[in-house]
Structure 1
Amino acid sequence: MGKRYYARESESLKLIHVGTLYSICVILFLLANKLFINLNFYVANLTIQFAFILLPAALFLVLFKFDVKKILRLNKIKFKTLIIIFFLMVSSMPLAGVFNLLNQYLVKVIFGEVELLDIPIENTLPGVMLGFFLVGIAAGICEEVLFRGIIQRGFERYGVKKAIIITALLFGLMHFDFQRLFGTFLLGALIGFIAYRTNSLYSGIFAHFVNNSVALLTKLYYQKLNEFSMDVEIGANALPQLENIPVGDSVVTVVAFIIGFLIALAFFAGFFILFMVLFIKNTSKTEVDVIEEKEPVMLKDILVFVPGLLVVVYVYIEQGARLIGL
């Protein structure tokens, strides 16, 4: 990826370590969601983020005596780079949204129903601030420490590209929502690339924060529009809105909508490419401590992921059964 590699402290971080940690966190995540189902949404999710995602990751690093700064890439990042990352993430959101719509369309075709849950946001200043803390800050820190901080690092010895892609997939799967898996995977891959190129977990946390916070702001904006009786739906609930386009009443309406949609998509794609080029250029001289030993994958390294992946399969089967009315 156009970088200079040098091996250091991360060489002791093995695949068996990250696989075990992933399975533990997935199992704890599921149990916590079941146990806290009747708790206040914010209390439950803040507890889950810090106690069942961040805490196991932190204990893992401490108990096995890893160099936390080296493993997590706790390196400074330039303000200019943060500005570029901000616009890169904002311009990527409509593109990820398109993949989510495709994801939801496939779910609708297969299961005949789409059932998406949105984060409840109270229409008060304390409620909004709490929402930003949960969605933007807490999720950004806790999930990035686990995934881009530890799991991606464990996979890097098999190649950076593989590490970014596999970690993004595991990241998407652990969200326990196959109706948004495409978009979540793309988000994880982009954040993984950003964290790698900058050699800093801080950039990954910031990118995660920007994505979640802008999505929350957009949701709040459309909530305000709906208060004025404007029938507007976006994001997670956009599929029903698209299905209501009056195809039989006006072909012109459909054509105009498609053209407008493609123009908007091309607009954001152009900005995304622009800021991606700027980002790559801005980080071209960054040195990254990555090991690509190409060592063979052992059976034990794969088996430690199985408990976590089985939990994911269980949750997805449960979701699919609910969609078809079982």
Structure 2
Amino acid sequence: MGTNIKQTHRFILYITTLIMVIFPLVESILQELSLQINKQLFFFLSKLVIIYVLFLFLKKKKITLSSIRLKKVHIKYILLGILMGIIVHMLSVIFGRIQYYLLTGEWLSAEKIVSTLMESSKNISFYSIIMIGFSVAISEEILFRGILLKEYQRMNIKPAIILSALIFSIYHMTVGNLVFAFVMGISFALVTIYTESIIPAIFFHFLVNEILRILMHFPEKVTETYFKVMVSPITTITGLILFLSILTFLFIKVIKNNHFQSEKVKFFDRYIILLFLMYVIFLTIK
């Protein structure tokens, strides 16, 4: 495996350590010192730190923004990213309901979803959702689709998509999110390669993460009516068909328009093995 990929893996490991160890430690120290912490602000600032570290990495490696696909793109591709985000939101509702059913033995109703959403999103302003959502989407898309996917794609596109999605899913560190994040990683990769920009994936990523909390700011009756539509089997089936259709279209286009090189991508080196071990340890102690 090339030196650049090893360095990228090492960098992902550093970022993961920053998120899993250093930031929680700083937060706990501040709490021990009896300092009042706004968790949303702390999370936003931590993402800004990560973005700053990412740009330091790019500067050190003399990597331009255009080479990691952080560049202007036609509005139709941004709309594609927004469309994908909305469709995935339709599917995420049923995904969340299935998880809840497996844990409790009962299905989440629209009323229950709304009450849970309101409870979990107390004191979160609309503007903080926008700032936090885009800071997360920007930092992760630069890291995984801008840097990592680009390095893998130099060798072979199919393993590049799969491996970048696999590492993306491991990075998210929870069993419930593992499969979902893997599928999302593939989706983000296909959108990025097809549009030749990470901008559509940033909008896609933002909506997947934040659309539920954005809905919290609608009147409760409107939100409840909306979720009654979302929990409908027809909505779920429609969303699944649309998602698979667009994903298949993107996959065919990407495969046809990208040439393969003969060198194969090795699936793990010591840095990714270490990252995976950290994931297992995290699940064990949680």
- What TM-score results when the alignment is normalised by the length of structure 2? 0.76
**Would the alpha carbon gap of residues 101 and 199 (structure 1) be closer, same or farther in structure 2, given more than 3 Å must change?**
same
1:314 match = 281
Deviation at 1:145, TM superposition (A): 0.8
Q: 1:168 to 1:296 in 2, by over 3 A?
A: closer
In the other structure, the counterpart of 1:14 is 4
Matched, 1:305 2:276: no
Are positions 1:294 and 2:243 aligned together?
A: no
| Distance of aligned partners of 1:264 and 1:168 in 2 relative to their CA distance in 1, 3 Å threshold | same
Aligned residue type for 1:268:
G
1:205-258 C-alpha deviation (Å, 9 max, x unpaired): 121123233232234448x3599xx8x9x7xxxxxxxxxxxxxxxxxxxxxx9x
Alignment identity in percent? 18
Residue of structure 2 in register with 1:203 after alignment: 200
- 1:89 to 2:90 alignment: no
Deviation at 1:149, TM superposition (A): 0.9
Paired position in structure 1 for 2:186: 189
Change (3 A) 1:121 1:172: farther
Give yes or no for contact 2:13–2:271 (8 Å, CA) kept in 1: yes
- Hey, what does 1:131 align to over in structure 2? 129
- The Cα RMSD (Å) is 3.7
Deviates more, 1:96-105 or 1:208-217: 96-105
In structure 2, what is the equivalent of residue 34 of structure 1?
A: 25
**Is the CA contact (8 Å cut-off) linking 1:97 and 1:183 kept in structure 2?**
no
- Residues 208 and 296 of structure 1: CA distance in aligned 2, closer, same or farther (over 3 Å): closer
1:127-163 per-position Cα deviation (integer Å, ceiling 9, x unaligned): 221122112x111111111111111122223422222
- Aligned pairs for 1:1-326 within 5 A: 14-31=4-21, 32-37=23-28, 38=31, 39-51=37-49, 53-70=50-67, 72-102=68-98, 120-122=121-123, 127-135=125-133, 137-221=134-218, 224-225=220-221, 261-273=232-244, 275=246, 292-295=261-264, 297=266, 302-319=269-286
Read off the aligned partner of 2:131 and give its amino acid letter: F
Going from structure 1 to structure 2, the CA distance change for 1:172 and 1:107 (only over 3 Å counts) comes to farther
Question: Match of 2:111?
Answer: none
What's the CA shift for 1:275? Answer: 5.0
Residue equivalent to 1:246: none
The separation in 2 between residues aligned to 1:100 and 1:155, in whole angstroms, is 32
> Going by fraction, where is helix more abundant, 1 or 2?
2
Change (3 A) 1:295 1:87: closer
Return the alpha-carbon distance in structure 2 between the equivalents of residues 216 and 28 of structure 1.
26
Secondary structure, counterpart of 1:304 in structure 2: helix
Residues 168-212 of structure 1 show CA distances to partners (whole Å, capped at 9, x for unaligned) of: 222222223222222222222211110111111112212112323
CA distance in 2, matches of 1:296, 1:280: 19
Q: Which runs of 5+ in 1 are unaligned?
A: 1-11, 110-115, 235-256, 320-326
Equivalent-residue separation in structure 1 for 2:244 and 2:127 (angstroms): 32
* Match of residue 9 from structure 1: none
Whole-angstrom distance in 2 between the partners of 1:119 and 1:168:
28
Per-residue deviation at 1:16?
A: 0.3
What letter matches 1:193 in structure 2? L
Residue identity opposite 1:81 in structure 2: Y
Aligned equivalents of 1:184 and 1:208: distance in 2? 11
Task: Tell me how far 1:14 sits from its aligned partner.
Answer: 2.6
Q: Name the aligned partner's letter for residue 120 of structure 1.
A: S
Structure 2 residue runs of 5 or longer lacking an equivalent are 32-36, 106-115
Name which one, 1 or 2, has greater alpha-carbon Rg.
Answer: 1
Letter in 1 for 2:275: G
Partner of 1:245: none
Give SS of 1:22's match: helix
**Deviation (angstroms), 1:167:** 1.8
- Residue pair 2:82, 2:200 contacting (<8 A) in 1 also: no
* Other-structure match for 2:113: none
Change (3 A) 1:33 1:315: same
